[in-house]
A and B are shown apart, each in its own frame.
Chain A
């Protein structure tokens, strides 16, 4: 089994998650109070959902070629596929959180306002705990999607072992070289990961309100 590819995919998924979740929460929350520009921003954020991965990968390849602001070339590097992964995952990270914020009854926010809480306290003590389920969904979807991402990663990163060759690319390589057993083992791992992700998203949290208190007992 290609453990190197598996570890690289996990590293990519974890880094993507760590960077995209705070950004996703911030964007999803900011969209609530936006006026006319909101629809345009939402459309832009949803673009990676409908754009063919090779097309998105091509533009990223062109965009990231040459020396970057970091002083190093980003294409065919881990940083490059991380940037690609962040862009591809924007809709998966933002939309569930946005829906979760939207589903909070506005009267609850008003009750928090008249209770004397500042906007930051309302966000931390009320909105964030109530949107917890959406945030978890976003995290699970982003993680699973990053593990399985193929087209964009291949375009931007190629298949450099230990640097850009993720599980999906390793599966493709193994099929190309008629290593069906190796491809099968890696595919099984991705299948199991996806099933766990779906189970977490739909089942484990049930339908009862969260008891996450958002630090109200601090």
Chain B
């Protein structure tokens, strides 16, 4: 199990605490420059944080506080980390097999045994026949597999993946997803994945930590994160389209710029008359062709067909709000939707998730 709590202000701000249990794939998601890679490098020992603590499998890897500075820091070589670099970082003068032999150099005695074990890892990655190729003679996907074999050869206590799929094409990526999913079952170690691709995190991760400007904003399973983002910034970062503002007062949400009021479930944490941001997930939206008492009149502005899925953009008559709705091609046909046509949107108040509107530098935003 990996436990970490890190804090630093320079060179890149970082304010992050997380736990990753054995067998869990935990994704760190955030925009470029948000501090994801810094966090990963700090865990591996390639950077040191100003204050904090990193423990893995009960072993203290790093500890520092404001008074004494760094009191304990294992070198990267002693941390037993498998680290997969974004640009692979294979040793260019060594063959695929020799690259995988390197992590075994101190732990396995005898060249023959090292080569046997390295070959087994290459076989497991499905590139057993590329043993003698140099890195520049391998494709991006093949290099990635050699790098993964090298990261795992040492039987690390934790696997750290730094944007591992960003430099490969889509079909290769699918293959690597499959390999990673298979490895997960066998390895039973914490796996930390850094990515800016939310779909990828959603597909692979058990839990996601959203990070922005070095600060961990929310840790949750993907579904919870998409349905119940902690605050407006998380909603923005996870790409929720239908995000609006309103005023919340004792279970009732008044939508800004129109008279709509929704009955909303809340935990009683938000004070009366608080301006809030609110989101509505896709399953809380439906569209009707005919008017009804609860239907909100809207005009279809745009329909973008993406294969069997269509993305429909509507603008409400009242309040001029833009709502995005995804539907199957069959649904679009059933409702006879077309640009300029009037439709009626039903919003399920029970599915609405409200969040306090706070400035980005408000420290309360980060409390867990």
Contacts and interface: CB of A to CB of B under 8 A. Distances in A.
Helix, strand, loop or mixed for chain B's interface? loop
A87 interface: no
A117 B89 contact: no
A57 interface: no
A30 interface: no
Contacts of A209: 92-93, 134, 136
Contact of B91 (A113, A116, A126, A217): A126
Q: What band does the interface of chain B fall in when counting residues whose beta carbon is under 8 Å from A?
A: 20 to 34
Interface string A106-144: 011011111111100100011001100000000000000
Contacts of B77: 113-118
Q: What band does the interface of chain A fall in when counting residues whose beta carbon is under 8 Å from B?
A: 20 to 34
A213 B93 contact: yes
B120 interface: no
B20 interface: no
B8 interface: no
Interface in B81-101: 81-83, 85, 87, 89-94, 98, 101
Contacts of B136: 209
A214 B92 CA distance: 12
Given A115-B150, A115-B154, A121 B105 contact: yes
B336 interface: no
B94 A111 contact: no
Contacts of A111: 83, 85, 89-91, 150
Given A117-B106, A209-B134, A110 B94 contact: no
Nearest to A129: B93
A36 interface: no
A114 B102 contact: no
Given A113-B77, A114-B79, A115-B150, A125 B105 contact: yes
Interface string A98-110: 0000000101101
Given A111-B83, A116-B77, A218-B111, A211 B105 contact: no
Interface string B53-89: 0000000000000000000000111111111010101
Contacts of A116: 77-78, 80, 103, 105-107, 154
8 contacts: A105-B89, A107-B87, A108-B89, A111-B83, A111-B91, A116-B107, A117-B105, A216-B101
Interface of B: 44-46, 75-83, 85, 87, 89-94, 98, 101-103, 105-107, 111, 134, 136, 150-151, 154
Interface of A: 105, 107-108, 110-118, 121, 125-126, 129-130, 209-214, 216-218
